[in-house]
Chain A
Amino acid sequence: MERHEAVEWLGETERARNRTRVVSRRVWFPLLLFGVITMGTVPLYPGGPLNGVSSSRSYVGAFFVSHPERLSLYWLLASAGGYLATALYFWWQDRRSGVAIRWQPFVIVGVALYALLIAVSPEGLSLIGLPWRISPWFHVGDLFIRGLTPILTIALGLLVLAAFQRSVSFAAYSLGFVGLALLVNLYDLGNITYRMGLGDHGVGANVVTAGGALLLGGVGFAVAARRRG
């Protein structure tokens, strides 16, 4: 084989790969959808510093939310709808474009983590016949205080999707988002802004930041896919 031939073949292979990548780029959809879903919870979280403890609790935690049942119901219905819409969109795109991507793990991991979240709540444990008193064993540290665990389930689902996408940029984004989800769940951005002298903007600030990151990511990946297409 001659050099010019090898160069030509390598070029053709790269072009074929690029064409396929362009056609199969559709991660913007779940990012935008879950960004909108997350932003929809903003009115349900307190906007100022945390004070008082709610008398009732929910599977998402949310000890400081005045109506945790509403928050739980919203997250449950919106997430179920979000995963269903994502599955339908990816399924339709697979058939329309003729290039299928591995999207199923995103939906499976998201739904499984969500089911686990509900199962280890006091109500969930009662439902499956286990004493609710063991629920603190599962509710590790600060993870459940702010009621932001659904954001962590979205982040871990995206990380799994990235593992199957073979896209460095999406993998980097997903890792960053998992970091943000852990930060808002375990530390609270309010603590950071307070230390910086910018005041405590409450749990709502965490939700706006996470939702904003999802929306921005969705727009960014959609624009990138359009440009390359």
Chain B
Amino acid sequence: MSHPAQDLDEVVHQRNRLAILAILGEAHKAEFTFLRESLDLTGGNLSRHLQVLEDAGLIHIEKGYEGRRPRTWARITREGRRALSRELRTLKAVVRSLEGSPALSERS
């Protein structure tokens, strides 16, 4: 039987990218500044994560202006929702599979 951790998707299995998907999963779309402040990331760092997620087809980026102010909104795609729930399922399976293991008991 394979270990549940083998099902983890490399794109989603990254702390910040998982949090980005989790935030976007709760809203219709979220603005760049909200994501940056919520995740305590630099603009450049967040941009790179968003790019990876967009290249994988998990989010959709909308760039526009409000007056003279540039605004970037990110929206989760259907594939993104599926990837998010897969990752959460796998993480829960990892927790369950290692529950009660002696090594972990020592650690905690």
Best-surrounded residue of B35, B91, B92 (most CB of chain A within 10 A): B91
Interface residues of B in 26-61 (CB under 8 A from A): 26-35, 38-39
Decide if the interface of chain A is mainly helix, strand, loop or mixed: helix
Contacts of A101 in B (CB 8 A): 27-28
Cross-chain contact of A7 among B23, B31, B34, B95 (Cβ < 8 A)? B95
Decide if the interface of chain B is mainly helix, strand, loop or mixed: helix
Write out, one digit per residue, whether chain A residues 1-41 have a CB within 8 A of any chain B CB (1) or not (0).
11110110110111011011101100000000000000000
Alpha-carbon distance A169/B33, docked complex (angstroms): 29
Contacts of A102 in B (CB 8 A): 28
Number of interface residues of B (CB under 8 A): 33
Is there an interface contact between A98 and B108, defined as CB atoms closer than 8 Å?
A: no
Is there an interface contact between B23 and A164, defined as CB atoms closer than 8 Å?
A: no
Q: How many Å from the CB of B39 to the closest CB on chain A?
A: 7
Contacts of B15 in A (CB 8 A): 9, 12
Is there an interface contact between A99 and B98, defined as CB atoms closer than 8 Å?
A: no
Q: How many Å from the CB of B34 to the closest CB on chain A?
A: 3
Contacts of A98 in B (CB 8 A): 30-35
Cross-chain contact of A100 among B27, B39, B94 (Cβ < 8 A)? B27
Given A10-B95, A16-B19, A20-B23, A1-B28 contact (CB < 8 Å): no
Contacts of A24 in B (CB 8 A): 26-27
Which of chain A's residues has its CB closest to B108's CB? A4
B residues engaging A (CB < 8 A)? 5, 8, 15, 18-19, 22-23, 25-35, 38-39, 66, 73, 88, 91-92, 94-95, 98-99, 101, 104, 107-108
Sample of 8 more A-B contacts, CB < 8 Å, known A12-B18, A99-B30? A2-B98, A2-B104, A4-B104, A6-B95, A7-B95, A9-B18, A13-B18, A13-B19
